[in-house]
């Protein structure tokens, strides 16, 4: 094989999947109002331009949001009617599921066909409606699946959210030799202020009782003097209470069960 041809083949193989795909794409993002308070919105646009032949692609966005198509699409096929996204549930009485984003949409994917050389765009608005945890941003991830070629994804970077963050709480409870229960937990992202309130539903009761209020330091908290006054299954949950503007009040999503004998 001639040296020039070999180099050309190697260069082609080195291209990322998005470069090998048709149509060509670009992304953009702009804030819709302030991103320093809730609700915080960013509008994302994915622009697609067909090559020398007609192109058919399926586009999906995450976090789930309603898609709006504009430009010169030859045809647009909405998603087939089906069941909605599954709904998470908690096994006990306590339930405060996080759900920082505006509820998902059944219209978060679409299939469009572009004539040769035509340009179309797909828009989605990512919206935070509750204080997000540290890894939740206003960015969008576009999944692009051409009818011909490999599927790929593209990140659309958004302006930063500058409001208070949520606090992700987790904990475990273990019985000590003296009969007390030690409850130890975390408060992410490495929260160093505020307090955690520990609440419990006693067996057979529908009303919770606060059993402790402790400080949070270096992303951790604990309480070692919980002494249940009856046997049976207790359900514990935690609430974070802020003392500043960096973090918002938050709570554990589901209860944690402790069997007392």
Give the tens place of pLDDT for each residue, 187-210: 999 999 999 999 999 999 999 999
Q: Which helix (H) or strand (E) holds 232?
A: strand 232-241
Compute how many other C-beta atoms are within 10 angstroms of the C-beta atom of residue 108.
Answer: 19
Looking at the chain, the number of H-run helices and the number of E-run strands are 2, 17
Identify the domain boundary among 156, 180, 196. Answer: 156
Give the tens place of pLDDT for each residue, 201-247: 999 999 999 999 999 999 999 999 999 999 999 999 999 999 999 99
Domain of 203? Answer: 168-260
Pair 30, 133 in one domain: yes
Pair 59, 138 in one domain: yes
**Tens-of-pLDDT digits for all 261 residues of the chain?**
454 444 443 444 444 444 444 689 999 999 999 999 999 999 999 999 999 999 999 999 999 999 999 999 999 998 765 555 567 789 999 999 999 999 888 889 999 999 999 999 999 999 999 999 999 999 999 999 999 889 999 999 999 999 999 999 999 999 999 999 999 999 999 999 999 999 999 999 999 999 999 999 999 999 999 999 999 999 999 999 999 999 999 999 999 999 999
Nearest 5°: CA angle at 68, between 67 and 71? Answer: 135
The two three-digit tokens of residue 242, written as one number: 């802020």
CATH number of the domain encompassing residue 255: 2.70.50.50
């Amino acid at each position: 094989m001639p040296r020039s041809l070999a180099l050309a083949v190697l260069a082609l193989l080195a291209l990322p999947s998005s470069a090998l795909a048709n149509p060509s794409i670009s992304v953009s993002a702009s804030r819709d109002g302030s991103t320093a308070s809730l609700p915080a919105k960013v509008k994302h646009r994915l622009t697609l331009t067909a090559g020398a032949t007609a192109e058919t692609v399926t586009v999906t966005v995450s976090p789930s949001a309603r898609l709006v198509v504009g430009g010169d699409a030859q045809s647009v096929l909405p998603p087939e009617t089906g069941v909605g996204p599954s709904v998470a549930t908690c096994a006990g009485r306590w339930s405060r599921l996080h759900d920082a984003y505006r509820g998902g949409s059944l219209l978060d994917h679409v299939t469009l066909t572009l004539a040769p050389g035509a340009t179309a765009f797909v828009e989605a608005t990512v919206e935070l409606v509750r204080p997000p945890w540290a890894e939740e941003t206003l960015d969008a991830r576009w999944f692009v699946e051409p009818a011909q070629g490999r599927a790929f994804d593209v990140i659309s970077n958004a302006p930063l959210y500058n409001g208070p963050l949520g606090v992700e709480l987790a904990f475990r409870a273990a019985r000590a030799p003296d009969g007390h229960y030690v409850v130890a937990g975390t408060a992410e992202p490495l929260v160093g202020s505020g307090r955690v309130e520990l609440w419990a539903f006693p067996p057979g009761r529908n009303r919770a009782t606060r059993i402790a209020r402790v400080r949070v330091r270096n992303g951790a908290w604990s309480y070692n003097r919980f002494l249940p006054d009856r046997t049976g299954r207790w359900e514990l949950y935690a609430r974070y209470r802020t003392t500043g503007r960096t973090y918002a009040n938050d709570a554990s999503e589901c209860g944690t069960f402790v069997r007392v004998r």
